């Protein structure tokens, strides 16, 4: 029969290992997916760097080739695409991103990107606007109708 002290000791020994396994599983899940940039099919852009995308989502780049205004579509931070954007490209928390845009709006330097939940909505909206840009996770593309858009990998 196991007494309480033995049970507690065994449980405490197992906890750090369980935490490591959970961390490894979370890391694999987070890195297994890739962020994909969604552009209108008429947009001539063929490649985009993470720095380019960050400048667009921070509002420091607002025009395609200096002439066509960008329509930036964000993602809710609860979506896979939204989390990947914040973690891999923006390197900031959702709160820091919101604060950034609050400051810009108060200074009259732009409007916060509209946040969409569904990847299908991002694709549909980008297809309907020549200057639009959005992001989706690679895993969210399965089964989506991508007519009218161009999918660009970050690189």
The chain-wide mean pLDDT, for the chain, equals: 85
Report d(CA 146, CA 140) in Å as an integer: 12
Instruction: Return the half-sphere exposure (C-beta side, CA atoms, 13 A cut-off) of residue 132.
Output: 22
Report d(CA 131, CA 129) in Å as an integer: 6
Report d(CA 98, CA 119) in Å as an integer: 21
Q: What is the CA radius of gyration of the chain?
A: 20
Instruction: Return the half-sphere exposure (C-beta side, CA atoms, 13 A cut-off) of residue 30.
Output: 13
Each of the 155 residues of the chain gets a pLDDT tens digit; together they read 555 455 444 544 544 443 333 333 333 344 579 999 999 999 999 999 999 999 999 999 999 988 899 999 999 999 999 999 999 999 999 999 999 999 999 999 999 999 999 999 999 999 999 999 999 999 999 999 999 999 999 98
| Domain ranges (residues) in the chain | 1-32, 33-153
- Residue 127 tokens read as 């297809």
CATH topology of domain 33-153: D-Maltodextrin-Binding Protein; domain 2 (3.40.190)
- Max distance between CA atoms of the chain, in angstroms, equals 78
Report d(CA 7, CA 4) in Å as an integer: 5
For residues 64 and 43, is the Cβ–Cβ distance under 8 A?
A: yes
Q: Note the pTM of the prediction, 2 decimals.
A: 0.78
For residues 133 and 116, is the Cβ–Cβ distance under 8 A?
A: no
């Amino acid at each position: 029969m196991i007494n309480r002290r033995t049970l507690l000791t065994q449980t405490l020994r197992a906890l750090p290992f369980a935490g490591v396994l959970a961390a490894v599983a979370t890391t694999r899940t987070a890195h297994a997916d890739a962020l994909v940039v969604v552009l209108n099919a008429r947009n001539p852009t063929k490649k985009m760097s993470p720095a380019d995308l960050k400048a667009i989502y921070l509002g420091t780049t607002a025009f395609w080739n200096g002439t066509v205004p960008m329509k930036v579509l964000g993602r809710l931070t609860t979506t896979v695409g939204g989390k990947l954007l914040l973690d891999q490209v923006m390197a900031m928390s959702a709160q820091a991103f919101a604060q950034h845009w609050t400051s810009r709006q108060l200074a009259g330097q732009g409007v916060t990107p509209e946040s969409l939940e569904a990847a299908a909505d991002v694709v549909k909206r980008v297809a309907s606007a020549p200057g639009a840009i959005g992001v989706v996770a690679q895993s969210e593309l399965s089964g989506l109708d991508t007519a009218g858009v161009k999918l660009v990998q970050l690189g």
